[in-house]
Amino acid sequence: MHDLNGWGLNQATEKQCFLEAERLVDSILKRVRQPLIDAVASFFTQPLSPLALMLFEVALLKLVRELGRHLLEVVLNACEPDVPHLLPMNLSFEIGGYRRRNQKTANRNVAS
């Protein structure tokens, strides 16, 4: 993320937001391009049948879900500044308090 204001892109111009969105989407499309080509090529090499079509559809659903998961990840990461110590350590939201960690965690039980 380009540290435009210390917290994501909320102070960026419309053009900066568009360019960052374009960069992020292009980076994810590059990741999924070859698997999509492989799925289509695999479909073309099989005789046309209901089973072949179903397998192709399932492969596409899996790839699109993976594309969405990767895109969500990079978009949320883009909201974080390059220097996390600039953010407040403690936040309150509704009825609870939250403490921010400076490093990423592999612990899937940590609420975020």
pTM above 0.75, yes or no: no
103, HSE (Cβ side, Cα atoms, 13 Å): 3
Give me the sign of the Cα torsion angle 102, 107, 109, 112: positive
Which pLDDT score is estimated for 5?
40
Nearest to 17 by CA among 79, 73, 80: 79
Which pLDDT score is estimated for 3?
43
pLDDT in tens, the chain (112 residues): 444 444 566 677 889 889 989 999 999 999 999 999 999 999 999 999 999 999 999 999 999 999 999 999 998 888 777 676 777 778 787 888 877 766 666 666 655 5
The DSSP call for residue 83 is S
